[in-house]
């Protein structure tokens, strides 16, 4: 249990969300930032209009904006979903040193997800960075629960839990839009479709708490938590969150980001080559000893990822599952 306590686990389970300050050490975040600046402008570059093609890519085209047009209520001042709030998503795997990619399997974060969900048979199903820069949009949202991580209405009992999460890649102070969230004991729990404006549900706005925290913090929340994004107020400010979410291995109905379309890119190959079997199991790679593996397939795996330590798979041939994943599942 590194970086978190029993209380953090208990709060996620009973209240639906928890902020774990500095779950990932700030040094690990800082060491990964050069990789992020290869795909997103720094706050200074963005606000000076000097982000070049990264800035253009962030602002996106009209097609990208239209994706969210069902939410578009640009004439309203108050909390609302607005297209521009959702610009600035950058998808794993990232180019560069591989450090930004490695954050996704940081042992403290994976350890927390395993402890809170009470399973070691987990998959990472969301892996993208979301950048917000002051002034791009009015980022103020209405309260809502996330229905967009599942193709069926999420059940809220422990057997069906999954964990949505944001790893903070920048310090998220009060004036750079910490997510606001309501404890399940304050909201009464359960899931309801749609948004709640301050007029419709003043009690949610009165009970909301800010999830401000330093970089390296991890905000973990369940789909039944009412929450909302708020506006960035700091002049020249920005906020960078890494959406990293975990589900149980049999939850086919839960999803968000698919890595498969990028699985043959050099950056993914490099990431795989840096992983242990347990880390790769988080992406669906069968553990050593799984029936999937025979000698030709292990040879093909070694050819596809030449730098991967393939020995655990060879040693596991015919031995049945290894590691602590559920026998035979992966
Ligand atoms: O950006 C945030 O702080 C939260 C955003 C959010 O809840 C959403 O867009 O569904």
Q: Are residues 11 and 120 in the same domain?
A: yes
- The answer on pLDDT for 260 being more than 50 is yes
- The answer on pLDDT for 301 being more than 70 is yes
Range of the domain at 19: 6-254
**274, 102 in Cβ contact below 8 A?**
yes
Evaluate whether residue 259 is within a structural domain.
no
Confidence of residue 321 (pLDDT cuts 50, 70, 90): low
The Cα 144–Cα 161 span in angstroms is 18
Domain count, the chain: 2
Q: Are residues 123 and 215 in the same domain?
A: yes
Q: Which CATH number goes with the domain that contains 129? A: 2.60.120.620
C-alpha distance across the termini of the chain, in Å: 24
- The answer on pLDDT for 326 being more than 50 is no
- The answer on pLDDT for 119 being more than 80 is yes
Query: What string of DSSP letters covers 120-131?
Result: S-EEEEEEEEEE
Q: Are residues 191 and 284 in the same domain?
A: no
Q: Which tokens sit at 264? A: 């043959």
Supply the pLDDT for residue 63: 54
Q: Are residues 211 and 292 in the same domain?
A: no
- The answer on pLDDT for 145 being more than 60 is yes
- The answer on pLDDT for 114 being more than 70 is yes
Give the tens place of pLDDT for each residue, 183-204.
Answer: 999 999 899 999 999 999 999 9
State how beta strands 227-228 and 122-133 pair.
Answer: unpaired
- How much distance in Å is there from the Cα of 71 to the middle of ligand 1? 13
- Dihedral through CA 25, CA 28, CA 33, CA 36, nearest 10? -100
Nearest CA to ligand 1 atom 1: 229
- The answer on pLDDT for 73 being more than 80 is no
Q: Which residues pair with 167 in a beta bridge?
A: 218, 242
Q: Single out the residue in 201, 230, 254 at which a domain terminates.
A: 254
Which residues sit with their C-beta closer than 6 Å to ligand 1?
141, 146, 177, 179, 227-229
Nearest CA to ligand 1 atom 5: 229
Q: Are residues 238 and 139 in the same domain?
A: yes
Q: Are residues 228 and 279 in the same domain?
A: no
**Helix H segments across 134-233?**
184-187, 202-207
Evaluate whether residue 209 is within a structural domain.
yes
**16, 145 in Cβ contact below 8 A?**
no
Q: Are residues 68 and 167 in the same domain?
A: yes
Evaluate whether residue 322 is within a structural domain.
no
Summarize the confidence of residues 33-43 as an average pLDDT.
97
């Amino acid at each position: 249990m590194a970086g978190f306590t029993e209380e953090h686990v208990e709060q996620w389970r009973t209240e639906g969300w928890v902020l774990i300050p500095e779950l990932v050490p700030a040094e690990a975040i800082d060491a990964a930032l050069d990789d992020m600046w290869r795909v997103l402008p720094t706050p200074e570059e963005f606000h000076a209009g000097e982000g070049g093609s990264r800035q253009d890519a962030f602002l996106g085209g009209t097609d990208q904006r239209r994706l969210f047009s069902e939410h578009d209520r640009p004439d309203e001042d108050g909390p609302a979903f607005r297209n521009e709030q959702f610009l600035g998503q950058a998808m794993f795997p990232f180019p560069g040193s591989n450090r930004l990619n490695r954050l996704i399997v940081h042992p403290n974060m994976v350890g927390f997800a395993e402890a809170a969900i009470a399973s070691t048979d987990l998959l990472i199903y969301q892996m993208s960075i979301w950048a917000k820069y002051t002034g791009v949009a009015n980022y103020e949202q209405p309260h809502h629960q996330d229905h967009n991580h599942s193709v069926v209405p999420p059940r809220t009992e422990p057997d069906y839990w999954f964990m949505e999460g944001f790893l903070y890649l920048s310090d998220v102070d009060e004036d750079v839009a910490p997510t606001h969230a309501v404890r399940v004991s304050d909201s009464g729990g359960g899931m309801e479709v749609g948004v709640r404006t301050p007029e419709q549900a003043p009690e949610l706005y009165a009970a909301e708490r800010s999830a401000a925290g330093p970089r390296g913090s991890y905000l973990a929340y369940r789909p039944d938590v009412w929450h909302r994004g708020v506006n960035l107020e700091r002049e020249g400010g920005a906020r960078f969150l890494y959406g990293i979410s975990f589900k149980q291995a049999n939850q086919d109905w839960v999803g968000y980001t698919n890595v498969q379309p990028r699985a043959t890119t050099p950056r993914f190959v490099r990431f795989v080559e840096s992983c242990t079997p347990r880390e790769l199991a988080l992406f669906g790679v069968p553990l050593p000893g799984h029936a999937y593996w025979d000698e030709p397939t292990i040879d093909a795996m070694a050819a596809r990822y030449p730098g991967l330590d393939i020995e655990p798979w060879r040693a596991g041939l015919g031995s049945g599952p290894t590691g602590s994943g559920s026998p035979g599942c992966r």
